[in-house]
């Protein structure tokens, strides 16, 4: 496929192979954009913003709704693209394509609700003659940098609110999964989006990332990725708005009074969805000691039933990791933990880019697999007796995206809600639960700001104050 710059689909002699991670077969190629392309994309977006900021709300709503309809009508095509270039199975990819259509529809709804309010200027002495209000206006060119693990819906989470707010976008999709984003751009153009309002540049982040991020014409960077890359964005960006989601090390607490079947099924799904390459995937599970063995046995039994296979095989439960390099990384982390004393309950086997769903316990303190974000199909079980100590352990991480607790005791649930240091707490659901219109984001190294359509739209617009000094009104008051 070609990249979209300046309203035209452009190719380059220098190519990047897009490969199926299961067998490394080439499914397509995309241009390897360079610094010149990056600057051209921003220049085009500046021109696109001049159009978008004057576009009536109803036109933006229409474009977003039509794009959602196109995605929905081509859901299977999008799903097969997601599954071919990424790690998700066809079942998981179909759900992502459906979510993308919903995300864009919600963005259209939110475009109608970009509102301000009146301001009581006369509440201040000396301002008796003044009346006014504020309204929200688009901020300009937004740079969206998206990851490989949700190559369609996370793109929609950035494009939807940006376009709803009247902005223009330069999109840099993940190098290994750019095709889903390019197909979504095609849908936007088909729906009537002005061509220069959306530029999609493909290429290696190390070659074009800093050029895009540092450009002063870019007024916001919306980034989803790893914390190291996020720190580089902050160092490079300069004075502009930044929104970023940087991952997690998600804790789940299971109390003895919980519905064990629900807890086991939810946590297995939460740990291994998208082969664990999920920023809100379950990583650490703390189980009250009296329920530890039943939970452990049920969790391991259900995990062993998961079938690893090709993404497009309807019988596959999970697919490969995004690259063999990533599979080798997590194999090394798990092996190191086992060498240091961890107990392997199931899994721990690698076959090329595939890594078996893995469950560990007796984890030694300081092991990377417990302290860092695994971003892999690996989960750790811990027994506990004291809830407050466990909450402290759950919080003892540099991340803070989502956490979860399973319990039938409402007092215990709310105690955890208020004490867990994170951006959201799921009660009787795993950390993997998310709806696309909720505020989504975290604290500490998990990121800055919030996604979710209404909340991202607030980030992608600014308030402007309008104050009128009405002299005639003032003179009448004096009479």
Buried b (16+ CB within 10 A) or exposed e, 228-244: ebbebbeeebeebbbbb
Last residue of a domain, one of 381, 401, 427: 427
pLDDT at 478: 53
Q: Is residue 477, in this structure, part of any structural domain at all? A: no
Q: Are residues 156 and 215 in the same domain?
A: yes
Q: Are residues 275 and 185 in the same domain?
A: no
Give me the pLDDT at residue 52, please: 98
Q: Is 257 exposed, middle or buried (0-12, 13-18, 19+ CB in 10 A)?
A: middle
At 239 the pLDDT is: 95
d(CA 305, CA 290): 25
To which residue do tokens 């296979």 refer?
309
Name residue 282's beta-bridge partners. 250
72 & 193 share domain: yes
What distance in Å separates the CA atoms of residue 64 and residue 342, rounded to the nearest whole number? 50
Which of these, 411, 363, 412, lies nearest to 383 by C-alpha position? 363
Other C-beta atoms closer than 10 Å to the C-beta of 354 total 21
Judgement on whether residues 273 and 350 belong to the same structural domain of the protein: yes
**Residues labelled as active-site residues:** 245, 279
pLDDT of residue 195: 93
CATH of the domain at 42: 3.40.605.10
Statement to judge: residues 366 and 318 lie in one domain: yes
Tell me, yes or no, whether 152 and 270 share the same domain: no
In a domain, residue 478? The reply is no
Spatial neighbors of 379 by CB under 8 A, at least 6 apart, are 267, 271, 272, 276, 282, 283, 284, 285, 358, 359, 360
Nearest to 173 by CA among 197, 135, 147: 147
- For residue 142, give both structure tokens: 């937004």
If we measure between CA atoms, which residue out of 215, 233, 214 comes closest to residue 225? Answer: 233
Give the pLDDT of residue 471.
84
The answer to whether residue 433 sits within a structural domain is no
Alpha helices (H) along 12-168: 35-52, 57-73, 75-85, 90-111, 153-164
Please tell me whether residues 97 and 243 are part of one structural domain. Answer: yes
On whether residue 261 sits in a domain, the answer given is: yes
Residue 302 and residue 215 share a domain = no
Regarding whether 121 and 58 lie in a shared domain, the answer is: yes
66 and 174 fall within a common domain: yes
Q: How many domains does the chain have?
A: 2
pLDDT in tens, the chain (479 residues): 999 999 999 999 999 999 999 999 999 999 999 999 999 999 999 999 999 999 999 999 999 999 999 999 999 999 999 999 999 999 999 999 999 999 999 999 999 999 999 999 999 999 999 999 999 999 999 999 999 999 999 999 999 999 999 999 999 999 999 999 999 999 999 999 999 999 999 999 999 999 999 999 999 999 999 999 999 999 999 999 999 999 899 999 999 999 999 999 999 999 999 999 999 999 999 999 999 999 999 999 999 999 999 999 999 999 999 999 999 999 999 999 999 999 999 999 999 999 999 999 999 999 999 999 999 999 999 999 999 999 999 999 999 999 999 999 999 999 999 999 999 999 999 999 999 999 999 999 999 999 999 999 999 999 999 999 998 765 555 54
Q: How large is the greatest C-alpha to C-alpha distance in the chain, in angstroms?
A: 88
Residues linked to residue 58 through DSSP beta bridges, in sequence order: none
Task: Decide if 434 is inside a domain.
Answer: no
Same domain, residue pair 415 and 450: no
Q: What is the CATH number of the domain that holds 302?
A: 3.40.309.10
Give pLDDT, residue 477: 52
Query: Residue 452 is encoded by which pair of tokens?
Result: 């979710």
Domain that holds residue 331: 250-427
Q: Are 403 and 252 in contact (CB under 8 A)?
A: yes
Torsion angle, CA of 14/16/17/22, rounded to 10 degrees?
160
Q: In whole angstroms, give the CA distance from residue 318 to residue 365.
A: 29
Give 265's contacts (C-beta < 8 A, 6+ positions apart).
302
Residue 280 tokens read as 């809100």
Tokens 């390897």 sit at which residue?
32
User: Do 242 and 300 reside in the same domain of the chain?
Assistant: no
- Asked if residues 227 and 445 have their Cβ atoms less than 8 Å apart, the reply is yes
In a domain, 10, yes or no: yes
Nearest to 457 by CA among 123, 199, 139: 139
Q: Is residue 308 part of a domain?
A: yes
Residue 452 maps to a domain: yes
């Amino acid at each position: 496929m070609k990249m979209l710059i300046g309203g035209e689909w452009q190719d380059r002699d220098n190519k990047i192979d897009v490969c199926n991670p299961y067998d490394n077969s080439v499914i397509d190629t995309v241009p390897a954009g360079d610094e010149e392309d990056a600057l051209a994309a921003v220049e085009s977006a500046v021109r696109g913003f001049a159009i978008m900021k004057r576009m009536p709300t109803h036109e933006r709503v229409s474009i977003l709704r039509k794009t959602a309809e196109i995605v929905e009508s081509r859901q299977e095509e999008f799903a097969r693209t997601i599954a071919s270039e990424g790690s998700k199975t066809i079942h998981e990819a179909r759900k992502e394509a459906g979510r993308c259509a919903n995300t864009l529809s919600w963005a259209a709804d939110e475009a109608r609700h970009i509102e301000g309010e009146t301001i009581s200027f006369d509440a201040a002495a000396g301002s008796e003659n003044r009346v006014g209000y504020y309204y929200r206006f688009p901020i300009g060119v937004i740079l969206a940098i998206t990851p490989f693990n949700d190559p369609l819906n996370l793109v929609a989470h950035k494009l939807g609110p940006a376009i709803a707010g009247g902005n223009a976008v330069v999109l840099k999709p993940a190098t290994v999964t750019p095709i889903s984003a390019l197909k979504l751009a095609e849908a936007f153009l088909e729906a009537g989006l002005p061509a220069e309002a959306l530029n999609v540049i493909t290429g290696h982040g190390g070659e074009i990332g800093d050029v895009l991020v540092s450009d002063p014409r870019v007024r916001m960077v919306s980034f989803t990725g790893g914390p190291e890359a996020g720190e580089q964005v902050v160092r490079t960006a300069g004075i502009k708005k930044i929104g970023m989601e940087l991952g997690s090390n998600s804790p789940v607490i299971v109390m003895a009074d919980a519905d064990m079947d629900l807890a086991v099924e939810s946590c297995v799904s939460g740990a291994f969805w998208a082969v664990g390459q999920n920023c809100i995937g379950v990583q650490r599970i703390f189980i009250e000691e009296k329920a530890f063995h039943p939970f452990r046995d049920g969790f391991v039994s259900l995990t062993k039933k998961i079938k690893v296979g090709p993404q497009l095989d309807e019988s596959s439960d999970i697919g490969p990791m995004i690259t063999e390099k990533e599979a080798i990384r997590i194999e090394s982390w798990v092996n190191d933990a086992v060498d240091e004393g961890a107990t392997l309950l199931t899994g721990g086997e690698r076959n090329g880019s595939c890594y078996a769903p893995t469950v560990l316990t007796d984890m030694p303190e300081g092991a990377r697999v417990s302290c860092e974000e695994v971003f892999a199909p690996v989960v750790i079980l811990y027994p506990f007796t004291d809830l407050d100590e466990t909450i402290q352990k759950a919080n003892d991480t540099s991340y803070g995206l989502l956490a979860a607790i399973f319990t039938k005791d409402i007092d215990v649930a709310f105690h955890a809600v208020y004490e867990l240091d994170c951006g959201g707490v799921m009660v009787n659901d795993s950390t993997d639960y998310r709806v696309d219109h909720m505020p989504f984001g975290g604290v500490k190294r998990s990121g800055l700001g919030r996604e979710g359509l209404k909340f991202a739209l607030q980030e992608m617009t600014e308030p402007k104050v309008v104050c009128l000094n009405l002299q005639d009104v003032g003179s009448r008051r004096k009479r």
